[in-house]
């Protein structure tokens, strides 16, 4: 058989068995060896039901490919050693770009070399019928696309906050496995295919989470390997990212042996990580969703391509914990990109409003993360007005806000603005510069400015604030005294700019940061610009006013506060 294809397209073909098996899914293993003279791919086939198997491939270059099947039942000529030819023609249509790790191990980038700023949204249960396809699913996807999200984190059927075969886990074709984990349900994946392919067509990278961590002890290692091999066979040809498990070492909520479970899960998921890396013919990036840090969820951190972090949902405490986790991860080996994977879902518990989303995004990105994952309470579990998710196994309920209402929360809009703004700057070469701020501040103070940039060239600061005019002024160090800088405040709520006069530094390379436009959070940018002339601001007058304010500062409690804001 000759198969025709275009470069970059997903190609699928079938194998039908002439031999009848009592349990095809468990009795037969089938793969196809694809070669084009330059490279070899070992593609796992996936069972479609009955006696049919399918294979998916995405050719990256034109030419002729040979396709030879290998079956565990070598006596079956309809499955074993079947030879096909694929002829791939060039295509002018751009195909979706996959991701890989940059050479310096500091960030992700697209296959064409473009730096990739990860802005994820959390749809843990988005493959269940709680988010119907096509109307609801497409509505949410298009809203997220418009806001600037480029990654969707989604679980392949074995969801958190429930036990196996909870009715809330089904899609219109049932559960992801038959009850008792006897065999995969191909019809569940047929429905899921529609959603994954739609996300890819709309420009998203699906980050596919194989299962929540505690399911490993319910399925056992071998069944979880089969689960992951099936996921790889179905979706590895797409530009996806693999997340081996969610909260991998977290025991089941009601487990009587949590410490023993945690140890077993850590070793078990390490085996699954090893399997994913070996079995995926397209070598998609691999990570794991953690309780805190991904590298702590496995006994072999070098199996990870990048590190996800979770800083929990405790408001300000989580912000500072997130910054601490980022710094710790960046200092350790093996070196890998760091992405905030979960923090302060908007609308969960308390202190998680839109401004907290801005605080989480900017503090994380300016501390060295290369991506941020947003979440909205109501979307991750897909509440509807008629079907709120309700209680978790522990008996508590995270909240019943419908997904359609949670979709409109302002935090998602604000982090989208932030991502687009950072992409106007050389964000991929920026590094944290906490020592450029004087006076230095502790990382657990809310008014601490976060700073990243390129020394002497670019400085990006985030002030959660407020910073009052009558308080000690911050100074920015390490500027080039011979340079002139464009400077402006950027409003993280509206994306409007508030220009400042051109900036020059003192002989020591310092510049005193002016008052923020309002008593809210702000972004400040200084960018070296050889086309600008030095500011004509009357420095002597400004200096005199500052000295006078310093003299009068002790009197600010005696009715003179208005002077300090003038």
Q: What is the pLDDT of residue 336?
A: 98
Q: Which two tokens stand for residue 51?
A: 């006696």
- The rounded distance, in Å, linking the Cα atoms of 87 and 59 is 10
List the chain residues with pLDDT less than 70: 441-446, 534-566
Q: Which of 409, 319, 393, 307 is nearest to 360 (CA)?
A: 319
Do 418 and 410 contact (CB within 8 A), yes or no? no
Q: What is the pLDDT of residue 404?
A: 97
Do 21 and 51 contact (CB within 8 A), yes or no? yes
- The rounded distance, in Å, linking the Cα atoms of 516 and 69 is 66
Do 500 and 422 contact (CB within 8 A), yes or no? no
Q: How far apart are the first and last CA of the chain?
A: 81
Q: Which CATH superfamily is domain 99-429 in?
A: Glycosidases (3.20.20.80)
Q: What is the pLDDT of residue 535?
A: 53
Site of tokens 């990006």: 460
Q: What is the pLDDT of residue 367?
A: 96
| Positions of CATH 2.60.290 in the chain | 431-535
Beta carbons within 8 Å of 160's beta carbon, 6+ residues apart? 124, 212, 246, 247
Measured from the Cβ of residue 74, the count of other Cβ atoms closer than 10 Å reads: 10
CB < 8 Å & 24+ apart, contacts of 105-112: 105/334, 105/335, 105/336, 105/337, 106/335, 106/337, 106/370, 106/428, 107/337, 107/370, 107/428, 108/285, 108/306, 108/337, 108/339, 108/370, 108/371, 111/239
- The rounded distance, in Å, linking the Cα atoms of 559 and 555 is 8
Site of tokens 């906050």: 161
Question: So what's the architecture of 2-89 in CATH?
Answer: Sandwich (2.60)
What is 443-468 written as a DSSP string? TT-TTPPEEEEETTTEEEEEE-S---
- The rounded distance, in Å, linking the Cα atoms of 468 and 519 is 7
Q: Specify the DSSP element, H or E, that contains 273.
A: helix 258-279
Q: What is the pTM of this model?
A: 0.93
For residue 163, give the 3-state DSSP assignment: coil
Measured from the Cβ of residue 531, the count of other Cβ atoms closer than 10 Å reads: 7
Question: So what's the architecture of 431-535 in CATH?
Answer: Sandwich (2.60)
- The rounded distance, in Å, linking the Cα atoms of 63 and 108 is 29
Q: What is the pLDDT of residue 532?
A: 79
Q: Which of 241, 234, 214 is nearest to 154 (CA)?
A: 241
Q: What is the pLDDT of residue 441?
A: 65
Q: What is the pLDDT of residue 539?
A: 40
Beta carbons within 8 Å of 366's beta carbon, 6+ residues apart? 430, 432, 450, 451, 452, 460, 461, 462
| Positions of CATH 3.20.20.80 in the chain | 99-429
- The rounded distance, in Å, linking the Cα atoms of 418 and 357 is 10
């Amino acid at each position: 058989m000759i198969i025709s294809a275009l470069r970059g397209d997903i190609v699928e073909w079938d194998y039908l068995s002439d031999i009848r098996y009592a349990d095809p899914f468990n009795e037969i293993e089938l793969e196809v060896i694809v070669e084009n003279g330059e490279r070899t791919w070992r593609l796992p086939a996936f069972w479609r039901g009955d006696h049919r198997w399918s294979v998916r491939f995405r050719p990256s270059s034109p030419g002729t490919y040979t396709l030879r099947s290998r079956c565990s039942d070598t006596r079956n000529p309809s499955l074993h050693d079947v030879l096909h030819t694929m002829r791939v023609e060039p295509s002018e249509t751009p195909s979706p770009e996959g991701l890989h790790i940059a050479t310096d191990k500091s960030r992700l980038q697209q296959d064409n070399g473009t730096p990739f700023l990860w802005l994820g949204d959390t749809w843990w249960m988005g493959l269940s019928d709680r988010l119907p396809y096509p109307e609801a699913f497409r509505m949410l996807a298009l809203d997220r696309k418009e806001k600037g999200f480029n990654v969707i984190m989604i679980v392949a059927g074995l969801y958190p906050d429930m036990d196996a075969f909870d009715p809330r886990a089904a899609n219109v074709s049932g559960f992801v496995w038959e009850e008792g984990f006897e065999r995969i349900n191909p019809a569940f994946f047929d429905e899921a295919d529609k959603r994954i392919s739609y996300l890819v067509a709309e420009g998203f990278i699906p980050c596919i989470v194989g299962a929540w961590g505690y399911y490993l002890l319910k399925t056992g290692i071998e069944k979880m390997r089969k689960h992951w091999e099936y996921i790889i066979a179905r979706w590895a040809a797409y530009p996806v990212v693999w997340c081996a498990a969610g909260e991998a070492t977290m025991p089941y909520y009601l487990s009587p042996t949590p410490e023993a479970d945690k140890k077993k899960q850590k070793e078990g998921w390490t085996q699954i990580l090893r399997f994913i890396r070996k079995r995926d013919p397209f070598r998609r990036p691999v990570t794991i969703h953690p309780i805190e840090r991904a590298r702590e969820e496995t006994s072999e951190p070098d199996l990870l391509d990048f590190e996800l972090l979770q800083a929990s949902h405790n408001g300000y405490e989580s912000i500072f914990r997130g910054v601490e986790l980022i710094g710790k991860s960046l200092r350790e080996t093996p070196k890998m990109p760091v992405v905030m994977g979960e923090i302060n879902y908007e609308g969960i518990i308390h202190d998680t409003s839109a401004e907290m989303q801005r605080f989480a995004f900017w503090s994380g990105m300016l501390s060295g993360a290369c991506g941020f994952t947003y979440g909205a309470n109501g979307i991750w579990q897909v509440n509807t007005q008629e079907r709120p998710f309700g209680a978790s196994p522990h008996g508590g309920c995270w909240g019943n806000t419908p997904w359609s209402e949670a979709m409109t929360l302002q935090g998602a809009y604000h982090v989208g603005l932030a991502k687009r703004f950072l992409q106007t700057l050389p964000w991929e070469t920026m590094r944290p510069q906490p020592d450029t701020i004087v006076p230095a501040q502790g990382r657990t103070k809310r008014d601490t400015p976060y700073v990243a940039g390129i020394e002497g060239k670019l400085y990006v600061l985030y002030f959660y604030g407020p910073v009052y005019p009558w308080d000690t002024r911050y100074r920015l160090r390490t500027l080039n005294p011979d340079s002139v800088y464009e400077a402006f405040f950027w409003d993280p709520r509206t994306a409007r700019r508030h220009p400042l006069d051109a900036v020059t530094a003192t002989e020591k390379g310092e510049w005193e940061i002016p008052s923020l436009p309002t008593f809210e959070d702000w972004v400040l940018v200084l960018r070296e610009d050889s086309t600008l002339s030095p500011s004509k601001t009357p420095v002597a007058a400004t200096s005199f006013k500052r000295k006078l304010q310093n003299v009068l500062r002790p009197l600010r409690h005696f009715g003179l506060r208005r002077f300090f804001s003038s």
